[in-house]
Structures are given as C-alpha cells and as structure tokens.
Amino acid sequence: MILVTINRSIYFAFQSFWRNIWLSLATIFIISLTFMSINFLVIINAISDSAIDAVKERVDVSIYFKQDVRESKIAEIKSHLETIPQVKEIIYISPDANLDEFRERRKDDSVIQEVLNELEGNPLGATLIVRAKELNNYPEILEAIDNPAYADLIEKKGYDDHQKAIANINTITDNVKKGAMVVTIMFIIIAVLIVFNTVRIAIFTHRKEVGIMKLVGATNGFIRSPFILENVFSGAIACGIAIGVIYFILSMIQPHLANFFAGVEFDLIAYFNSNFILIFGSQLVGIILLNIISSSLAIGKYLKV
Amino acid sequence: MIHLLNITKKFDSKTVALKDVSLHIEPGEFVSIVGQSGSGKTTIARIIIAEIKPNNGKVVIGGWDITNIKSGQIPQLRRQIGVVFQDFKLLSKKTVFENVAFALQVSGVSKSRINKIVPQVLKIVDLGDKVDRYPQQLSGGEKQRVAIARSLIHRPKILLADEPTGNLDAINSKEIIDLLLKINEFGTTVVLVTHDKEVVNSLKKRVVTIDEGVITQDQKVGKYVI
C-alpha cells in the first residue's frame, strides 16, 4: 500500500507539473538563477583564496651570508632555525648557485657581466630562504634571526612581505564577495517567495480537489506529497540546469585563469569536480528543504476541512 | 451507531448553533434531520464527520469516541462515513469513473482493485453506461448519483446526505431518495439532512426536527411539521 501511495503521489506530482508547465518553467528559471548566483559566490571564493595563497607562497625571509662564512656554520644556523615551530621550510642556496642565478638574471647587462668576469672568485655568499607556516609568524622568525651571535655572519636580510598586495587582494575579494552575497540573498528571497507562492497558487487552484480529498478520507500527507514532490522536481531540474551552465562558464574562464595564475597550479573545474557533492548536494538539499517548508506552510490553510 | 450526548456548539459568544443536543441513531436506521436554514442541522452533520468539534458533550460513532479526535485519525473516520452534499462536490476534469476511483486512490487502493470495485458501485447507482462522461455532461440527478457512488465506495456503515435533493427537480429528487432507501435496505445507516417537506413526508421514516439549535421533535414515523 505504501508503494502504491508513493507511486500515486509521484504520478499526481508529474501530472500537475505538466498541466501547469508555464508556472513550473518560471519556478525552474528563478531557482536556476539562485543556484547560479550562489555558485558565482563559490567561484569568487575559490579564485580569491587561490590568489591569496599564490601571494603567500612568495613571502619569505632571505638571509644573505657574508662571503667568508663557512658552509658548516650556515648548516648550524639552518638547523637552529628549523627548530622554530613556526618555520615551514628553509632552502639553502650555495654561493655558486647564487652567482649562477645572478648571472642569469643580469645576462643582458654587459657591465655587470664584465665586472663578474674580471673578479677573481665568487663575490657572493650563501643564502638561506626561510618560509613561515603563516604570514603572522614572520615577526617571530625575524626576531630569531636577529640573534647577536649571527650578526657578524649576516650581510643583510631581505623580507619582502607582500602584505600590501595581500591586503589589496583581500579588500577586492571582500567587496566582490559582499556584492555576490547581496545578489545571492536577493535571489534566495525571490526564490523563497516564488516557490512559496507557486505552491500557494497550485494549492489554491486545487483547493476544491483538496477539500474533496479530505472528505473522502485522504490523509494530510497524501494531499501534501504531490505538491511537495512537484516542487522538488523543479528544484532538481533547476539544479541540473545550473550545473550545466556553471560548467560551461568554468570551461570558458579556465584558460584565462590558467594564464593569470601562471606558475601556480589552479584548476577551477578540478576544484568543482572534487567538491561536486558538497557544492551542488548542499544546494539541492537546501532547495528541497525550502520546498518542503513552503509547501507545508502553504497547504496547511486548505487542510483544515 | 451514532450517539450525540449533550452537544453544544458555539461559533462565537453570540452564535450558539447547538444547545445541549442529544441524539441516538441505531444501526440500519433511516433518519431525517429537518429544520429551517440556520437551525443547526448541518452543524450536526459537520460534527458527525469531524469537520468541527463540539464545545461540550460527547460524540460516539460506531463505538468510537470522536469528541476529541486527532487530525491524523480523521481520514480513518471519513472512510467509514459516506458523505453526499447538495453541490455534489465532483471534480469537473475527471470522468465519472475517475471521480469515484479518486476516493479509492487517495486511500492507497491498488489499480486492479479500483478497476474491479468502481464499475460495481456505478452499476448500483445505475450509471454503468456513463463511466466516461464528465460531470458537465450529466444531469443534476446523475451528478448526485455519482456523488453517492463515491460515498459508497468504501462500503461505509453510515451514509450522511446533506441536502442531497437541494439542487434537483422533483423527478431527480425522487430518484435520489429511492436510491438512499435502497442503500438503507442493504443495511447502511442513512442520515438525511434536509428541509424538503415533500421528501420527508413521503419517506415515512424517523424524523428529528431541530429548531434554533434544539431538538424539538423526534418521531419514529414522522412528518415535516415546521
């Protein structure tokens, strides 16, 4: 009997969906727009997070040692710095590697090249590049490097913190997120009203049927379920449309993003693929819950027979 | 079968529809409840099908105390009471067959059983040849017979008819009353709520007269006396 009731509810829901096709299409359109605006917010989030991560990756402290500091001493300092919990990694660059890199960087500068050729030996010392786990760990690391015992060994320290760049990115993305949030909330409110009123109109047009169903012994659940299911169909179709559109947009913008994030691995499609269930599943569950609540509220009025 | 004990129903502080009404209807009886408009007879019908609850008193239907029936139990009650109204309450976009089948569909009855029962009931009300017609293609009497067929589909022990002849001419009214009598002969308790004097006088059955929310007469073989 339960199976028969479920089948009949699904049948009535489909029947009502087709008989009110324009209303159904309008509902699907609005819910699709809501899904798209929510996913636009997800895209903005993913891009801004990656942009910030990319900049963060470039923040480090470079310790330039004097030319005559022995490698064993540098290794000792490196070992000491590695004991600091906030340190993520330390890269050692030998004097030769530094010189090669410098030559390569200034290969078009003939004067520099000439000077280097005339010099006997390597004028550059070794370098340690220290990266912190978090941006706010750098002051502690810098304090540790400022140890008086190292003062005579260090030529200079370089700390390019990119804080300004990160702050700018944060400001821009925060503003975009706020804008997207406002649009999303607007669409959610519109979707709630549309879904709510769609159900109300559907139930209003079926009020005689609802009354007769009650009189002949239909349970409230049986009366409600086709209306709820009908809106769940609309939500599922809208979700499917939104997924199609979002993936189409992703495929269009991905090449541009790849250029923008040159050198940083960032694949928005892969991001959506790996979070597919979380992103779209939660949205689908949300719209189904919304349908159930609004349908239940709207139909309650006509069930008191 | 139906026991109303000291029922009082107020719709607001000034409108008292029923005042301390007690009514007992035995199984298999045919009872007409008569009275003028606003006398309270339809309120009794609405209380019997649990559409409204009384403010005071007790309602027992077939041994079931429904005075404070929970909303979840109402469908179960309504499958035991067939109801017929003056305005037929048929679905215009459904055929005769579908209108009757609808009552079974909402109860979760299988399609094969629906296909078996519905033609049988339509035959009882003499509409076996009009199963594919829509309500607008039927006469008033035929519409009411569809409504009666629908009310009988659950094989109820009680059939409650609220002004079933109100929209019908004399010939159709007689057909409907004859049908109700036939249903009563099969053992179904019939409660006829009406203000149709001729119908009541022709029945020669029990008549309960209600006036301003009070039962003023209860005759075993009665007449319309207002």
pLDDT band at B161 (very low <50, low <70, confident <90, very high): very high
- Shared domain for A228 and A247, answered yes or no, is yes
Taking each continuous run of H as one helix and of E as one strand, the counts in chain B are 7, 10
User: Could you tell me the CATH number of the domain that includes residue A90?
Assistant: 3.30.70.3040
Taking the Cβ of residue B69 and every Cβ of chain A, the question of whether any pair is shorter than 8 Å is answered with: no
**Are A217 and B102 in contact (CB < 8 Å)?**
no
Contact B105/A8, CB-based, under 8 Å? Answer: yes
- Which pLDDT band, with edges at 50, 70 and 90, does B226 fall under? low
* Burial of A92 from C-beta contacts in 10 A (0-12 / 13-18 / 19+): middle
- A2 contact B CB<8A: yes
A183 and A299 co-located in one domain: yes
| For residue A301, pLDDT beyond 70 | no
Q: What mean pLDDT comes out for the span A224-238? A: 85
Out of A2, A214, A217, the one facing B154 most closely (by C-beta) is: A217
DSSP string, A26-64: HHHHHHHHHHHHHHHHHHHHHHHHHHHHHHHHT-EEEEE
- Asked if B105 has any chain A CB less than 8 Å from its own CB, the reply is yes
Residues in chain B with CB shorter than 8 Å from the CB of A2 are 108
**What is the share, in percent, of chain A residues with pLDDT greater than 70?**
90
Instruction: Give Cα A214 to chain centroid, integer Å.
Output: 49
Give A225-269 as a DSSP string: HHHHHHHHHHHHHHHHHHHHHHHHHHHHHHHHHHHHTTTS---HH
pLDDT at A117: 82
Q: Are B144 and B156 in contact (CB under 8 A)?
A: no
pLDDT over 60 (residue A305): no
Contact B106 A217 (CB under 8 A): yes
**pTM, rounded to two decimals:** 0.63
Nearest chain B residue (CA) to A214: B75
The predicted structure's pLDDT at residue B76: 86
**Is the domain of A173 the same as that of A110?**
no
pLDDT band, very low/low/confident/very high, at B220 (cuts 50, 70, 90): confident
What mean pLDDT comes out for the span A181-207?
74
The pLDDT of residue B192: 94
Measuring CA to CA, how many Å separate A120 from each of A114, A115, A123, A124, A305?
Answer: 12, 10, 8, 12, 103
Question: What does the pLDDT average to over A29-53?
Answer: 82
Q: Are residues A81 and A200 in the same domain?
A: no
| pLDDT for the residue numbered A28 | 87
The residue from A135, A161, A187 where one domain ends is: A161
- Average pLDDT of the residues of chain A: 82
Nearest to B62 by CA among B160, B128, B129, B186: B160
Element (H, E) at B25: strand B16-25
Q: What is the pLDDT of residues A132-172, one digit of tens each?
A: 887 777 778 888 888 888 888 888 887 765 667 667 767 77
pLDDT given at position A29: 87
Cβ proximity of B17 and B211 under 8 Å: no
Choice between A202 and A141, residue whose per-residue pLDDT is larger: A141
Higher pLDDT pick, A146 / B30: B30
pLDDT at residue A52 greater than cutoff 80 = no
Same domain assignment for residues A196 and A247? yes
pLDDT at A166: 64
R_g over Cα of chain A: 32
Chain B residues whose CB is inside 8 A of the A212 CB are 89-91, 102
Q: Does B107 touch chain A (CB under 8 A)?
A: yes
pLDDT of residue B8: 93
Whether residue A274 sits in one domain with residue A134: no
Are residues A206 and A289 both part of a single domain?
Answer: yes
Are both A143 and A259 inside the same structural domain? no
Comparison of pLDDT for A111 and B5, the residue scoring more: B5
A276-282 average pLDDT score: 90
Question: For residue A101, what are the β-bridge partners?
Answer: none
The pLDDT of residue A302 is: 67
Query: How many structural domains are present in chain A?
Result: 2
A-proximal residues of B, 159-218, CB under 8 Å? none
Sign of CA dihedral B136, B137, B139, B143: negative
How many Å apart are CA A203 and CA A23, to the nearest integer?
Answer: 13
Residue B131 pLDDT more than 90? yes
Which H/E stretch holds residue A223?
A: helix A220-260
Both A149 and A170 in one domain: the answer is: no
Q: Are residues A51 and A92 in the same domain?
A: no
Residues from chain A contacting residue B79 (CB–CB below 8 Å): 216-217
- Segment B89-125, tens digit of pLDDT: 898 878 999 999 988 888 888 889 999 999 999 998 9
Count CB neighbours of A262 within 10 A. 8
Three-state DSSP class for B26? Answer: coil
Of chain B, the percentage scoring pLDDT greater than 90 comes to: 54
DSSP tag of B92: T
**Residues of B in Cβ contact (< 8 Å) with A222:** 106, 108
Residue A256 to residues A68, A168, A249, A294, Cα–Cα distance (Å)? 47, 21, 12, 41
- Distance CA(A109)–CA(A96), nearest Å, equals 19
pLDDT score of A202 more than 70: no
Give the residue from A101, A128, A161 where a domain finishes. A161
CA distances (Å), A27 to each of A189, A193, A302, in order?
13, 10, 22
pLDDT in tens, A255-270: 888 777 766 677 888 8
> What confidence score (pLDDT) does residue A67 get?
84
Q: What is the pLDDT of residues A67-107, one digit of tens each?
A: 888 888 888 888 988 888 888 889 999 988 988 888 888 88
pLDDT in tens, B45-93: 999 999 899 999 999 998 899 998 988 888 888 888 999 998 898 988 7
B145-168 mean pLDDT: 90
Q: What does the pLDDT read at residue B206? A: 94
pLDDT over threshold 80, residue A298: no
Residues A142 and A28 in one domain: no
Spatial distance between the Cα atoms of A155 and A122, rounded to a whole number of angstroms: 15
Residue-number span of the structural domain to which A198 is assigned: 2-55+165-303
- Cα gap B206→A213, rounded to integer Å: 31
- Residue A265's φ and ψ, nearest 5 degrees, are -75, 110
Task: Give the β-pairing of B64-65 and B214-219.
Answer: unpaired
Residues A188 and A242 in one domain: yes
Closest CA to B43 of B212, B220, B226, B221: B212
User: Which among A136, A161, A186 is the end of a domain?
Assistant: A161
Per-residue model confidence (pLDDT) at position A160: 64
Q: What is the pLDDT of residue A30?
A: 81
- CA distance to partner chain A, nearest, from residue B52 (Å): 8
pLDDT (0 to 100) of residue B215: 92
